[in-house]
Amino acid sequence: MLPEPLDEAAPSSLAVTHLRLVAFRSYARLDLDVTGRMIALTGANGAGKTNILEAISLLAPGRGLRRASPSDFARKSQGIGWSVSATVTTASDPITLWTGAGEDARRTAKQDDKATSVLALGRVARLLWLTPALDRVFVEGPGERRRFLDRMTLSLLPDHAETATRYDRAMRERNRVLKEGGDPRWLSALEGQMAEHGVALARGRAHALGALLAAQGEASSHAGAFPRAEAGIVGEFDAEMAPKDLARLLHDARPRDAQAGRALTGPHRSDLAVRYAEKDAPAADCSTGEQKALLVSLILANARALHAETGAAPVLLLDEIAAHFDADRRAALFADIADVGAQAWMTGTEPGLFDAMGGAAQRLVVSEDGDGSAVVSA
């Protein structure tokens, strides 16, 4: 059963109900009111569909779904400044979130017109996304899988981003001091910081992955369209390790790390291992379609875990999500999203990709006006 339009009696999920863009990417200005829990954005390639999803993704900590720099978001013909603001419904009162940058290209944020940090946005806007760039996450290097895992962890633990930032900062400073042959006492202090934040980082990841795997048991996965994933965090670093033990490992590894020019021990070296459970096969050995289905399964499990832990389903940003699925799997996808109770923003080049949603979808068309700016119409 697909969801009804948004109404005040059903605040079971977060939802973006109004989106305003100013000088953002291909948009000179956009004011968009949204009433649906499923939003289908269609239009030609390059029309500006993904730019809308990217704008919403900036309402969470980080660099958005393209991992771009703040200076890249500005519409080139309008100068340097840009902004994204949205009204977000929650279980209590609607909240207005804003982020943008001025001439200095430094990104700032506001909540209900009061200055806040970009990291703090994650406490309100729980967002999950899938983009075509993630289709290769199982065959790329470990760094891509760590980022994927950290994004899922951040959705459940908003302080995870700050923990990762502090760990990275201490690690970079330790690398510098090792290179310069600096004060051993300063190295010990930095290793203490790495140990404290590194253990918290690893435990956060382990908690999030455990919550996801548990949530898979609640999945309806209509007609078995999306397989169950088995997953674990692998590497020499153990999340059960005490901070003092990691600090000792880092101390003992100083000669090796100085020669390598980087830290070779810690959660920054971990990897996410995923298997297709029913086939007992590593995700990297599965077909492209199977890998995509595993990704969808993990994102839906993440949404269920969020609903279980916070009482509200997240906002899903699904770029070109239906392009490589057949009609049955598309219908199963939309039904599973409805079961999760999340608001989902989806893009596609063809309106027919979303026919299985029937009247449950708010359909919007993205095109270009005479001045070269992207516009959205019903």
Q: Give the whole-angstrom CA distance, residue 364 versus residue 331.
A: 19
> pLDDT confidence of 7, banded at 50, 70, 90?
very low
**Angle between helix 142-156 and helix 288-310 axes, rounded to 10 deg:** 30
Q: Is 156 in the same domain as 38?
A: no
- pLDDT value, residue 10: 41
Residues 15 and 89 placed together within one structural domain of the fold: yes
Range of the domain at 213: 135-311
One-letter amino acid of 254: R
CA dihedral for 54, 151, 100, 116, sign (positive or negative): positive
Q: Of the ranges 169-178, 256-265, 362-371, which one carries the lowest mean pLDDT score?
A: 362-371
pLDDT at 1: 47
Whether 6 shows a pLDDT value over 70: the answer reads no
End-of-domain residue from the set 311, 338, 366: 311
Work out the pLDDT band at 65, boundaries 50, 70, 90: very high
Same domain, 66 and 91: yes
We report the CATH number of the domain holding residue 104 as 3.40.50.300
Distance CA 326, CA 65 (A): 25
Q: pLDDT-based confidence at 102, cuts 50/70/90?
A: confident
The answer to whether residues 263 and 375 belong to one domain is no
Q: Is the pLDDT of residue 223 over 70?
A: no
**Percent of the chain at pLDDT above 70?**
94
What's the CATH number where 296 sits?
1.20.1050.90
Query: Looking at the structure, do residues 99 and 2 belong to the same domain, yes or no?
Result: yes
Among the residue ranges 167-171, 243-247, 306-310, the one predicted with the least confidence is 306-310
Q: Which of 255, 279, 311 is the last residue of a domain?
A: 311
Q: What is the pLDDT of residue 79?
A: 66
User: Does the pLDDT value for residue 200 go beyond 80?
Assistant: yes
CA nearest to 261, candidates 352, 322, 172, 199: 172
pLDDT for res 8:
39
Count of other CB atoms within 10 angstroms of residue 143: 11
Residues 7 and 103 in one domain: yes
219: number of Cβ within 10 Å: 17
Domain check: are 120 and 212 in the same one? no
At 271-310, the pLDDT tens digits run: 999 999 999 999 999 999 899 999 999 999 999 999 999 8
Let me know: does 150 contact 205? Beta carbons within 8 Å. Answer: yes
Handedness of CA 110, 161, 244, 260 (dihedral sign): negative
Beta bridge partners of 347: 41
* 67 in the same domain as 206: no
Domain boundary among 271, 295, 311: 311
> Do 157 and 210 belong to one domain?
yes
> Is the domain of 260 the same as that of 139?
yes
Per-residue confidence (pLDDT) for residue 11, from 0 to 100: 40
Mean pLDDT over residues 95-101, rounded?
95
What pLDDT does residue 267 have?
A: 94
Shared domain for 301 and 335, answered yes or no, is no
Tell me how many domains the chain contains: 2
Full strand arrangement of the beta sheet holding 229-234? 229-234, 271-276, 281-282
Asked whether the whole model's pTM tops 0.85, one would answer: yes
More confident residue, 354 or 322: 354
List the single range of 46-60, 100-114, 129-143 with lowest mean pLDDT: 100-114
Q: Are residues 57 and 146 in the same domain?
A: no
